[in-house]
């Protein structure tokens, strides 16, 4: 269903495109299940017509909009269609450094909707792309109000049925959620991908601000360089004037760095901005909107927990899709088909069985061939059982301790390492956009099981119960669960992080926090360490569904820094020495959610 990128690029500038054409015959048998859709939606069109314009918001700020309508013989079809749109800060259309025209709707698997009688559209957020204004804050109420107005504008157009959907991934996933927080009457469906539900819990998970959200501003991507002007702006002067306004916006990294605790007031905006920008703040409004929701994410992505949190704390008609890939990736799954099934159901009211299916569809990493995908009606899985592994042996940098199913009640061990504040990734990953941790050689301390006798299926949220002391009154703790192959090659299955002073646990402000420890992260919750005194830290790792193969080992690595930290606000000179305790009174342990059996024994015994 998806056209090649080269086809789009050759003809796109002309405003007319021939789309791949897949006619549906009346006699075709009906079939509708995840990734498969036949006999329900006729592919009537193989062309589209593009227009672009400015739309003024109620405060006078003009947003740039691209609109793609089904066409026949080069002319837009004079019919009404549902509309699916994206709200992007990354330019709704632009020319990349190689001179290639880029259409984000194509990359988001939304262009094929045109075949089936949809209008699709892209809108530059205010202060970005060719839109005017300056961004006040990352996904603030201004963007949400703009989304409301644009939704109702699309609904009022003569080519619109008034049934509107919104979709997107990453930042665009966030703008998708925020569109629903305003309860626009004509918004009927949304598909947010690889994004957050609790802003503080995502950006500053465990009280530590890290990963992509700390990146510096990119003048091209963030301010709009290379953006395609709207049609009426033939000489590009309006786009240039808009870009000049963008530099006055609030820089993202500085915004987050200025709010160390959840309840802090932003010194740049003078408001408690974590609350304003968090989707969870508006959960009741989303529920009252009644909008249908297709939440999608990946296990190897920072937003994996947020997807499960959102799914478990809303009562809208909703589904959760979890792949095994990275940020905004869909692998070999036909996501365009799934979007069509979803939007057909909610925007065209096609009875295609969407809501009669199991609500959760997920892929398992390293699963046996033919058993990669599973369905369930709840997450965490009802059939997962906890397997506790205790820290043992003597670990030192470069020498692994043990993870064992038996607690040694006579142990008096304590393992030490000095925090390395400048860890280096193995290989050469792009640290500017790193949404999953990289491997680091001889990083912190590791604890490893013997080789597994049989495959083990980890499915859920692992929990680390760690007894730790430091030579300082605080410390950042990063934990990585790794799959270690017989040749020593390691891959990170999941990970977590927690600042020691945030170790206190409070009641979670959610209907369903999935039985996990909740660290609120408000300023009054901070508990400094007493240097040299063991303290208990319980932290959950991001969810996963992964098979560890027989012969492989499970390793848990504990470190005091991560290469993705750009705005570290807890650092000591000299670097602290951290001690991991695992004696009778301080039983550090790892709890794995296991489906089936977990057997790790030294072969031959």
> What span, in angstroms and rounded, lies between the C-alpha atoms of 181 and 164?
15
d(CA 181, CA 202) in angstroms, rounded, equals 19
Cα separation of 64 and 233, whole Å?
Answer: 11
User: Is residue 404 within 8 Å of 389, Cβ to Cβ?
Assistant: yes
Same domain, 343 and 439: no
Confirm whether 272 is domain-assigned: no
pLDDT beyond 70 at 488: yes
Q: Is the entire prediction scored with pTM above 0.75? A: yes
Let me know if residue 604 belongs to a domain. no
Same domain for 339 and 398, yes or no, is: no
Mean pLDDT for 295-316 is 98
Say yes or no: 333 and 434 in one domain.
Answer: no
Instruction: Look at residue 574 in the predicted model and tell me its pLDDT.
Output: 97
Check whether residue 468 and residue 565 sit in a common domain.
yes
For residues 384 and 595, is the Cβ–Cβ distance under 8 A? Answer: yes
- Structure-block tokens of residue 454: 């049989």
pLDDT of residue 212: 60
CB 537 within 8 A of CB 503: yes
Are residue 540 and residue 406 in the same domain, yes or no?
A: yes
What gap in Å lies between CA 497 and CA 563, rounded to an integer?
13
Domain-located, residue 23: yes
Is 537 within 8 Å of 477 (Cβ atoms)?
Answer: yes
- Residues 424-483 pLDDT 10s: 999 888 777 788 999 998 899 999 999 999 999 999 999 999 999 999 999 999 999 999
- 483 with 400, same domain: the answer is yes
Please tell me whether residues 453 and 341 are part of one structural domain: no
340 shares its domain with 389: no
Residues 345 and 468 in one domain: no
Domain assignment present for residue 601? The answer is no
Question: 333 and 426 share a domain?
Answer: no
The mean pLDDT value of the chain amounts to 93
CA angle 116, 63, 214 (to 5 degrees): 95
The band of 74, judged by pLDDT with boundaries at 50, 70 and 90, is: very high
Q: Structural domain of residue 69, as residue ranges? A: 5-198+217-250+278-286+327-350
Which tens digits make up the pLDDT trace of 314-339?
A: 999 999 999 999 999 999 999 999 99
**Which residue in the block uniquely carries the two structure tokens 């991991």?**
580
- Model pLDDT, residue 1: 31
Whether the ω angle into residue 421 lies within 30 degrees of 0, i.e. cis, is: no
Same domain, 333 and 478: no
User: Is residue 375 one of the residues assigned to a domain?
Assistant: no
pLDDT tens per residue across span 544-603: 999 999 999 999 999 999 998 887 889 999 999 999 999 989 999 999 999 999 987 643
Q: Indicate the DSSP class of residue 600.
A: B
Region of residue 97 (phi > 0: left; psi between -120 and 50: alpha; otherwise: beta): alpha
Q: Where are the alpha helices (DSSP H) in 157-196?
A: 171-181
Give the CATH number of the domain where residue 235 resides: 3.40.50.1820
Q: Parallel, antiparallel, or unpaired for β 385-392 and 589-595?
A: antiparallel
The mean pLDDT of 185-213, rounded to a whole number, is 93
Please give the pLDDT value at position 16: 59
142 and 66 part of one domain: yes
Q: Report pLDDT digits (tens) over 92-130.
A: 999 988 899 999 999 999 999 999 999 999 999 999 999
Q: In the prediction, which pLDDT does 19 show?
A: 57
pLDDT of residue 17: 60
Which pair of tokens denotes residue 365? 């990493």
**Residue 502 backbone phi and psi in degrees, to 5:** -100, 15
Q: How wide is the angle at C-alpha 497 spanned by C-alphas 494 and 499, nearest 5°?
A: 170
The number of folded domains in the chain is 2
pLDDT over 70 (residue 190): yes
Under a CB-based contact definition with an 8 Å cutoff, are residues 194 and 171 in contact?
no
Predicted pLDDT of residue 38: 96
User: pLDDT over 90 for what percent of the chain?
Assistant: 86
Q: Are 592 and 389 in contact (CB under 8 A)?
A: yes
- Given this model, what pLDDT does residue 18 score? 58
241 within a domain of the structure (yes/no): yes
Q: Assign residue 39 a region: left if phi > 0, alpha if psi is -120 to 50, beta otherwise?
A: left
The predicted pLDDT at position 407 comes to 85
């Amino acid at each position: 269903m998806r056209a090649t990128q080269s086809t789009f690029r050759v003809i796109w500038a002309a405003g007319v495109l021939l789309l791949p054409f897949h006619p549906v015959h009346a006699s075709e048998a009906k079939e509708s299940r995840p990734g498969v859709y036949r006999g329900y939606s006729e592919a009537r069109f193989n062309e589209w017509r593009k227009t672009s314009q400015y739309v003024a918001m109620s405060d006078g700020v003009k947003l740039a909009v691209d609109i793609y309508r089904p066409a026949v013989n080069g002319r837009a079809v004079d019919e009404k269609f549902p509309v699916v749109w994206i709200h992007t800060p990354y330019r709704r259309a632009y020319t990349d450094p190689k001179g290639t025209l880029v259409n984000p709707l194509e990359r988001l698997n939304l262009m094929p909707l045109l075949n089936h009688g949809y209008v699709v559209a892209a809108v530059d957020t205010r202060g970005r792309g060719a839109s005017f204004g300056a961004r006040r804050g990352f996904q603030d109420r201004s963007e949400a109000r703009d989304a409301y107005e644009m939704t109702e504008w699309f609904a009022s157009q003569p080519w619109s049925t008034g049934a509107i959907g919104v979709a997107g991934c990453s930042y665009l996933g966030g703008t998708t959620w925020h569109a629903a927080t305003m309860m626009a009457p004509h918004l009927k469906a949304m598909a947010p991908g690889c994004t957050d539900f609790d802003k503080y819990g995502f950006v500053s998970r465990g009280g530590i601000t890290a990963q992509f959200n700390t990146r510096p501003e990119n003048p091209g991507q963030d301010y709009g360089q290379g953006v395609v002007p709207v049609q009426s702006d033939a000489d590009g002067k309006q786009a240039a004037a808009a870009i000049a306004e963008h530099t006055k916006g609030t820089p993202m990294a500085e915004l987050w760095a200025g709010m160390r605790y959840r309840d802090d007031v932003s010194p740049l905006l003078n408001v408690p901005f974590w609350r304003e920008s968090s989707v969870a703040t508006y959960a009741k409004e989303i529920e009252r909107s009644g909008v249908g929701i297709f939440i999608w994410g990946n296990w190897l992505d920072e937003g994996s927990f947020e997807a499960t949190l959102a799914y478990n704390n809303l009562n809208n008609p909703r589904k959760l899709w979890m792949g095994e890939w990275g940020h905004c990736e869909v692998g070999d799954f036909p996501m365009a088909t799934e979007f069509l099934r979803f939007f057909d159901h909610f925007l065209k009211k096609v009875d295609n069985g969407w809501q009669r299916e199991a609500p959760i569809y997920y892929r398992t990493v390293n699963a046996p061939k033919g058993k990669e995908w599973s369905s369930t009606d709840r997450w965490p899985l009802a059939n997962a059982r906890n397997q506790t592994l205790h820290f043992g042996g003597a670990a030192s940098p470069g020498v692994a301790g043990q993870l064992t199913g038996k607690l040694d009640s006579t142990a008096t061990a304590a393992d030490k390492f000095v925090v390395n504040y400048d860890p280096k990734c193995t290989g050469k990953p792009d640290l500017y956009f790193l949404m999953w941790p990289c491997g680091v050689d001889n990083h912190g301390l590791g604890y490893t099981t013997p080789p597994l006798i049989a495959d083990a299926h980890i499915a859920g949220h692992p929990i680390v119960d760690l007894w730790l002391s430091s030579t300082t009154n605080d410390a950042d703790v990063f934990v990585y669960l790794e799959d270690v192959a017989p040749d020593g090659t390691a891959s990170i299955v999941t990970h977590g992080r927690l600042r020691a002073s945030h170790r206190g646990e409070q009641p979670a402000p959610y209907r369903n926090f999935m039985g996990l420890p909740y660290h609120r992260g408000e300023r009054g919750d901070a508990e400094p360490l007493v240097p040299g005194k063991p303290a208990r830290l319980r932290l959950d790792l991001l969810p996963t569904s992964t098979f560890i193969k027989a012969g492989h080992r499970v390793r848990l690595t504990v470190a005091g820094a991560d290469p993705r930290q750009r705005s570290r606000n807890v650092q000591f000179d000299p670097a602290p020495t951290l001690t991991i305790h695992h004696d009778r009174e301080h039983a550090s342990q790892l709890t794995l959610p296991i489906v089936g059996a977990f057997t790790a024994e030294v072969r031959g015994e």
